[in-house]
Structure 1
């Protein structure tokens, strides 16, 4: 399967999506499955992973409803308060929803004490027990604290969204690489080749600006733990879907067919435990 491992859907509401500011005009509108499907078809992508864009239980239900209506939405990453004392029971209620594969919070807006709390750590352990993955949305300067967190959790499946938002505009990659390396050494942690264009200069980025970050990610994680993700429609702030896809296509052209297949689907299929459609 060929999979876009990271995209979003929403019915735009300035109160619910308050992170979409007035300066983000291209994405201040509805984005639904019928808007994404032509892009997937254009690049022979079989499926996608719908990731939460709002911190609410209703967001999870919204994405699950869309996944039920569209078989090509193969996985949902919902939202959950991991410190909820009723987490175990709430996850149990979701067990019949087989497309719900994991959860995510917007950790990039949190201080380290938030995700180093014993309640949060216990929440991650509960996810592990129930078989769910966790997406890490954060900035690279938070990685050392995240490393302390994962040492307390055990081998919980984790994926780093958007390469932990490296400093692409400045081109200063050394500190980012140093912080990322200890996490990459744990084989249950994956990384998404996504979100790069919006960390670069929105108006004036180039393939060469992104290349060092892709090369380092490949060096650290290998193709078997790298996932292609468009970050559509957020990517529209800096580039069209075809431009974002083209960056990864160009980068992987030097790899073997099998390695390219890992990045464009098999790694996502393994991480999110997505079953291939019956032939």
Structure 2
């Protein structure tokens, strides 16, 4: 079974969704489960993991309502205030939702030092008690800080989103590669093969632009800790769904069937307990 391990839904609100700037007009609209369902069927993909884009509990409930209505949504990564003194009560409440697998905070937008805030670290540590995962969304230049964070949350399953957003458009791999390798030393850390096209030149990328980064990713994490994800609809800024998928399929075409199954679904199933 192929799983898209990272995608989003939203009802576009220009006041709320200020991160979707005018240069992103292609995604300045609603994206709902029925839109993705057609695309997944066309590409023989059996299911997906819906990941938060907004930082409210209402966002989490919105994604859970989507998952309730569409069986192909196998899991939800929501948002909760991980610094809230009443976090444990919130996690206990959220535990009733079987499709809620974990949480994410948009750390890429936070100031330096956020990942070392004791209240945030403590909140992420608490996720493990309730078998929730954590999606780590950072830029490549935040990886050294992320390393110290990960050392503090070894009992929680962590997945790094979007290869930690290396600067593909500039062809830069250092110190990104070394920093990513350092995080990989912790066996609870996985990495998502997602979000690459939007880190390249949106209108002028070539498939070979991604090869060095994919080489590095699999050298570092192997084939049992890499999770494929489309990052739809954000990927539409630079590529169609099929284009971003074909970058991955083309790269792994010579891998064994077992390795392909892991990357394209089994790893997501195991990480998120789908």
- Report the TM range for the smaller structure's normalisation: over 0.9
Answer yes or no: is 1:158 the counterpart of 2:158. yes
Could you say which residue in structure 1 is the equivalent of 2:27?
27
Q: Please list, as runs of the form range in 1=range in 2, the aligned pairs for 1:137-176 lying within 5 A after superposition.
A: 137-176=137-176
Answer yes or no: is 1:228 the counterpart of 2:228. yes
Could you say which residue in structure 1 is the equivalent of 2:74?
74
Shift of 1:152: 1.9
Task: Indicate conservation of the 8 Å contact 1:185/1:220, yes or no.
Answer: no
Runs (4 or more) in structure 1 with deviation over 6 Å come to: none
Task: Indicate conservation of the 8 Å contact 2:125/2:155, yes or no.
Answer: no
Task: Indicate conservation of the 8 Å contact 1:67/1:76, yes or no.
Answer: yes
Could you say which residue in structure 2 is the equivalent of 1:36?
36
Q: Quick one: distance in 1 between partners of 2:148 and 2:43?
A: 39
Could you say which residue in structure 1 is the equivalent of 2:3?
3
Q: Deviations over 1:163-187 (max 9, x none)?
A: 0000101112121101111111211
Shift of 1:43: 1.7
Could you say which residue in structure 2 is the equivalent of 1:92?
92
Answer yes or no: is 1:218 the counterpart of 2:218. yes
Shift of 1:111: 2.2
- 1:18 aligns to what SS in structure 2? coil
User: How many residues matched?
Assistant: 274
CA RMSD of aligned residues (A): 0.8
Q: Quick one: distance in 2 between partners of 1:16 and 1:195?
A: 22
Shift of 1:153: 2.2
Shift of 1:15: 1.4
Task: Indicate conservation of the 8 Å contact 1:136/1:160, yes or no.
Answer: yes
**Range with greater deviation from structure 2 (10-19 or 62-71):** 10-19
Task: Indicate conservation of the 8 Å contact 2:115/2:149, yes or no.
Answer: yes
Task: Indicate conservation of the 8 Å contact 2:228/2:265, yes or no.
Answer: yes
- 2:170 aligns to what SS in structure 1? coil
Task: Indicate conservation of the 8 Å contact 1:88/1:126, yes or no.
Answer: yes
Q: Quick one: distance in 2 between partners of 1:171 and 1:189?
A: 25
Answer yes or no: is 1:65 the counterpart of 2:61. no
Q: Quick one: distance in 1 between partners of 2:56 and 2:213?
A: 32
Task: Indicate conservation of the 8 Å contact 2:10/2:30, yes or no.
Answer: yes
- 1:135 aligns to what SS in structure 2? strand
- 2:103 aligns to what SS in structure 1? strand
Shift of 1:112: 3.2
- 2:192 aligns to what SS in structure 1? strand
TM-score w.r.t. length of structure 1: 0.97
Q: Please list, as runs of the form range in 1=range in 2, the aligned pairs for 1:170-185 lying within 5 A after superposition.
A: 170-185=170-185
Q: Quick one: distance in 2 between partners of 1:195 and 1:113?
A: 24
TM-score w.r.t. length of structure 2: 0.98
Shift of 1:36: 0.5
Q: Quick one: distance in 1 between partners of 2:195 and 2:273?
A: 23
Q: Which runs of 5+ in 2 are unaligned?
A: none
Could you say which residue in structure 2 is the equivalent of 1:254?
254
